[in-house]
């Protein structure tokens, strides 16, 4: 099938690679403009652009799709289908209806749950036991189009949002290939979303980082997993701020924030306790909890508490 692919971050790359490997004709890739990063503010291309260039696919990076220029380009490209994966721009109606098979989006949730920008992170933050991807026929709403194909996977007890992201990206690649085949063969069975079951997965912010140890151990553990690796969960130990990168659920009880033991590094929560296994003191590199504690020299558990 002749396809125009629209996407930007790492999550989209496996989908593009899978469509290429499957023998589809990728007429062009649309992605966000290069963005300045680092101290020198050098322009860095999006991951999907690098993938497209490596496969000799023309790349378009319009600032907007609404001024008519992108529509004219797409008319010339004449795709049978537009595939959209984490592109980051709203497609106007004239583009949505341009290709023979319309525009199909791969969204990293089991719709109608977790519409919006951060579905993977919110699934982990909310302690979901199952996550997945949905291929849907795009309409003018935000992730509101008819569902075409779903696939799900279990979420591991200690799995971080980053780890789940990578597994869902691979799953999304399988789903989009199957969806394209079904479209060509006339096998798609669009299913309306039940809006009453929807919830919105808003973008993450640094204001979400601070851990409240008065919450349950499961809630604290989910926060650490869901905010990994950005913006990261944070806490203050005896007044010194650190990022908490990994935890596991542990036995124990006590005053919330109280350090119950150092071998292993267990902290009491409002209900239950968590063991911190990986952390990052402010201004330092990520390290194991034990490496951090070894550097404190003779400090006892009763000397430490989180606030």
User: Residue 63, exposed/middle/buried by CB under 10 A (0-12, 13-18, 19+)?
Assistant: exposed
pLDDT digits (tens, 9 = 90+) for 63-101: 999 999 999 999 999 999 999 999 999 999 999 999 999
| pLDDT above 90 (res 297) | no
Task: Pinpoint the alpha helices (H) of the chain.
Answer: 13-21, 47-54, 69-77, 93-96, 119-125, 161-184, 217-226, 289-294
What average pLDDT does this structure show over 269-275? 98
**Is the whole model's pTM more than 0.85, yes or no?**
yes
The residue among 141, 166, 201 that closes a domain is 201
Q: Which of 32-41, 139-148, 178-187, 198-207 has the least mean pLDDT?
A: 32-41
The overall average pLDDT reported for the chain is: 96
CA 269 to chain centre: 27
CA distance 1 to 78: 11
CA distance 104 to 96: 9
Structural domain including 236 reads 206-303
Q: Which of 64-78, 104-118, 266-280, 290-304 has the least mean pLDDT?
A: 290-304
Q: What is the CATH number of the domain that holds 280?
A: 3.10.25.10
pLDDT digits (tens, 9 = 90+) for 28-60: 999 999 998 877 778 999 999 999 999 999 999
The residue among 201, 226, 259 that closes a domain is 201
The percentage of the chain sitting over the pLDDT mark of 70, rounded to a whole number, equals 100
pLDDT digits (tens, 9 = 90+) for 250-264: 999 999 999 999 999
Counted domains in the chain: 2
Asked whether residue 153 falls in the same domain as residue 30, the answer is yes
Radius of gyration of the chain (CA): 23
pLDDT of residue 298: 83
Asked whether residue 193 falls in the same domain as residue 218, the answer is no
- Please provide the size of the chain in residues: 307
Asked whether residue 189 falls in the same domain as residue 291, the answer is no
List of residues 6+ apart from 188 with CB closer than 8 A: 148, 149, 179, 182
Q: What is the CATH number of the domain that holds 143?
A: 3.40.50.170
Asked whether residue 37 falls in the same domain as residue 140, the answer is yes
Asked whether residue 188 falls in the same domain as residue 264, the answer is no
pLDDT of residue 242: 97
Beta bridge partners of 258: 305
Reading the block at residue 216, the tokens are 């349950």
CA distance 30 to 118: 21
The better pLDDT of the pair 1, 36 is held by 1
Asked whether residue 118 falls in the same domain as residue 227, the answer is no
Q: Are 239 and 281 in contact (CB under 8 A)?
A: no
Asked whether residue 50 falls in the same domain as residue 196, the answer is yes
What average pLDDT does this structure show over 100-120? 97
pLDDT digits (tens, 9 = 90+) for 141-179: 889 999 999 999 999 999 999 999 999 999 999 999 999
The residue among 201, 220, 249 that closes a domain is 201
Asked whether residue 8 falls in the same domain as residue 115, the answer is yes
The better pLDDT of the pair 18, 296 is held by 18
Asked whether residue 279 falls in the same domain as residue 298, the answer is yes
Asked whether residue 193 falls in the same domain as residue 110, the answer is yes
Asked whether residue 139 falls in the same domain as residue 34, the answer is yes
What average pLDDT does this structure show over 124-137? 98
Asked whether residue 185 falls in the same domain as residue 240, the answer is no
């Amino acid at each position: 099938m002749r396809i125009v692919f629209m996407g930007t971050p790492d999550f989209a790359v496996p989908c593009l690679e899978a469509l290429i490997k499957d023998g589809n004709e990728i007429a062009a890739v649309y992605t966000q403009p290069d963005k300045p990063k680092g101290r020198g503010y050098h322009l860095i291309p999006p991951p999907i652009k690098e993938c497209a260039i490596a496969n000799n696919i023309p790349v378009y990076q319009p600032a907007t799709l609404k001024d008519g220029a992108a529509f004219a380009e797409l008319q010339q490209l004449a795709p049978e289908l537009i595939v959209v994966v984490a592109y980051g721009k709203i497609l106007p109606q004239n583009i949505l209806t341009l290709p023979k098979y319309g525009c199909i989006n791969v969204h990293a949730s089991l719709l109608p749950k977790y519409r919006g920008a951060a579905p993977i992170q919110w699934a982990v933050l909310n302690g979901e036991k199952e996550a997945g991807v949905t291929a849907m026929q795009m309409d003018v709403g935000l992730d509101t189009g008819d569902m075409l194909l779903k696939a799900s996977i279990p979420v591991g007890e200690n799995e971080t949002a980053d780890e789940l992201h990578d597994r869902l990206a691979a799953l999304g690649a399988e789903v989009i290939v199957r969806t394209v085949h079904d479209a060509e063969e006339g096998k798609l069975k669009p299913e309306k979303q039940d809006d009453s079951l929807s919830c919105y997965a808003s973008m993450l912010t640094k204001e979400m980082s601070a851990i409240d140890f008065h919450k349950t151990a499961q809630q604290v553990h989910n926060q650490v997993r869901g905010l990994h690796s950005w913006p990261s969960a944070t806490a203050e130990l005896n007044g010194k701020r650190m990022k908490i990168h990994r935890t596991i659920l542990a036995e124990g009880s006590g005053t919330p924030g109280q350090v119950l033991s150092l071998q292993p590094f267990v902290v009491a929560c409002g209900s239950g306790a968590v063991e911190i296994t990986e952390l990052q003191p402010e201004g330092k590199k990520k390290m194991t909890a034990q490496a951090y504690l070894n550097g404190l020299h003779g400090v006892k558990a009763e000397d430490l508490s989180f606030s």
